[in-house]
Structure 1
Amino acid sequence: MYVAVKGGERAIENAHAWLAEERRGNTDIAELSIAQIREQLSLAVNRVMAEGSLYDPDLAALAIKQARGDLIEAIFLIRAYRTTLPRFGASEPVDTGIMACDRRISATFKDLPGGQVLGPTFDYTHRLLDFKLAADGEVPKAPSRDAETGTVPHVTEFLNREGLIEEAPHDDTPPPDLTREPLEMPADRALRLQALTRADEGFTLGLAYSTQRGYGRNHAFVGELRIGSVPVEMDIPELGFAVEIGEVILTECETVNQFTGSKTKPPQFTRGYGLVFGQTERKAISMALVDRALRWEELGEDNVGAPAQDAEFVLYHADNIQATGFLEHIKLPHYVDFQSELELVRKLRREAGALQVQEAAE
Structure 2
Amino acid sequence: MYVAVKGGERAIDNAHQWLAEERRGDPSVPELTIPQIREQMRLAVNRVMAEGSLYDPDLAALAIKQARGDLIEAVFLIRAYRTTLPRLAASRPVDTGAMVIDRRISATFKDLPGGQVLGPTFDYTHRLLDFALMAEGGAPAPGAPTTGASPTAHVPHVTGFLNRDGLIEAASPDDTPPPDLTRQPMELPAGRALRLQALARADEGFVLSMAYSTQRGYGRTHAFVGELRIGRVAVEVDIPELGFAVGIGEIELTECETVNQFRGSKTEPPQFTRGYGLVPGQSERKAIAMSLVDRALRWQELGEDFTGAPAQDEEFVLMHCDNIQATGFLEHIKLPHYVDFQAELELVRKLRAEAQAMQEAAE
Shorter chain as denominator, the TM-score bin is over 0.9
Match status 1:165 vs 2:165: no
Structure 1: distance between partners of 2:360 and 2:266: 75
Task: State which of 306, 309, 318 in structure 2 corresponds to 1:306.
Answer: 309
For the Cα contact (< 8 Å) 1:2–1:332, is it kept in 2?
no
**Aligned match of 1:155 in 158, 171, 178?**
158
Q: Secondary structure at the match of 2:63?
A: helix
Letter in 2 for 1:92: R
Mapped to 2, the partners of 1:263 and 1:345 lie a distance apart of 58
- Any conservation in 1 of the 2:2–2:337 contact (CA below 8 Å)? no
220, 223, 238: which one aligns with 2:223: 220
The amino acid that maps onto 1:219 is: H
Percent identity reads: 79
> What is the aligned partner in structure 1 of residue 201 from structure 2?
198
Report the equivalent of 2:29. Answer: 29
Corresponding residue number in structure 2 for 1:120:
120
TM-score, length of structure 1 as denominator length: 0.97
Structure 2: how far apart are the matches of 1:265 and 1:132?
57
Aligned residue in 1 for 2:260 = 257
Q: How many residues align?
A: 360
Contact 1:45 1:61 in 2 (8 A): yes
The structural deviation recorded for 1:262 is 3.2
For residues 261-300 of structure 1, the aligned pairs below 5 Å read 261-300=264-303
Paired letter, 1:235: D
Give the one of 169, 172, 177 matched to 1:174.
Answer: 177
Cα offset for 1:114? 2.5
1:263-292 deviation digits (Å, cap 9, x = unpaired): 554211000000000000000000000000
Which residue pairs with 2:146 in the alignment?
145
User: 1:2: Cα distance to partner?
Assistant: 7.6
Partner-residue secondary structure (3-state), 2:103? strand
Deviation at 1:4, TM superposition (A): 4.5
Deviations 1:285-322 (A, max 9, x none): 00000000000000000000000000000000000000
Letter in 1 for 2:128: L
1:351, distance to aligned residue in structure 2 (A):
1.3
Aligned-partner Cα distance in 1 for 2:2–2:206: 32
Q: What SS is found at the alignment partner of 2:107? A: coil
Report the equivalent of 1:69.
Answer: 69
For the 8 Å contact 2:52–2:76, the answer to whether it is kept is yes
- In structure 1, what is the Cα distance between the partners aligned to 2:183 and 2:157? 32
- Aligned AA for 1:22? E
User: Which residue identity does 2:185 align to in structure 1?
Assistant: P
Contact 1:3 1:9 (C-alpha < 8 Å) held by counterparts: no
C-alpha distance 250-327 of structure 1, shift in aligned 2 (>3 A): same
Shift in Å, 1:145: 2.6
Distance 2:38 2:164 in 1: 42
Alignment check: 8 A CA contact 2:117 2:147 kept: no
- With over 3 angstroms needed to count, the CA separation of the structure-2 counterparts of 1:264 and 1:76, relative to structure 1, is closer
1:89-128 equivalences under 5 Å are 89-128=89-128
**Secondary structure of the corresponding residue to residue 294 of structure 2:** helix
Matched, 1:43 2:37: no
Whether the 8 Å CA contact 1:260–1:299 is kept in 2: the answer is no
- Whether the aligned pair in 2 keeps the contact of 1:251 and 1:278 (CA below 8 Å) is yes
Which residue type is aligned with residue 204 of structure 1?
V
**Which position in structure 2 is the counterpart of 1:239?**
242
Q: Secondary structure at the match of 1:223?
A: strand
Counterpart CA distance in 2 for 1:32 and 1:115 is 39
Deviation at 1:353, TM superposition (A): 1.4
Letter in 2 for 1:280: S
SS of the counterpart of 1:125?
coil
SS where residue 226 of structure 1 aligns?
strand
- What one-letter code is carried by the residue in structure 1 that aligns with 2:158? V
Alpha-carbon shift at residue 6 of structure 1 (Å): 5.3
CA deviations 1:155-208 (Å, max 9, x no partner) are 111100100000012100001110110000010101000000000000000000
Q: Deviations over 1:101-150 (max 9, x none)?
A: 10000000011223100000000111000000112343112333354222
Secondary structure (helix, strand or coil) at the match of 1:177 reads: coil
Segments of structure 2 that go 5 or more residues without pairing to the other structure are none
Q: Which residue of 2 aligns with 1:10?
A: 10
Q: Does 1:184 align with 2:207?
A: no
Contact 1:105–1:225 (CA under 8 A) maintained in structure 2:
yes
Counterparts of 1:11 and 1:319 in 2: how far apart (Å)? Answer: 31
3-state SS of 2:277 partner: strand
Question: Counterpart amino acid of 2:159?
Answer: T
Per-residue Cα deviation, 1:300-347 (whole angstroms, up to 9, x for no partner): 000000000000000000000000000001011111111111001111
The answer to whether the 8 A contact 2:199-2:290 is kept is yes
Q: Distance in 2 between matches of 1:153 and 1:162?
A: 15
**SS of residue matched to 1:10:** helix
4+ runs deviating over 6 angstroms: none
CA-based RMSD of the aligned residues comes to: 1.3
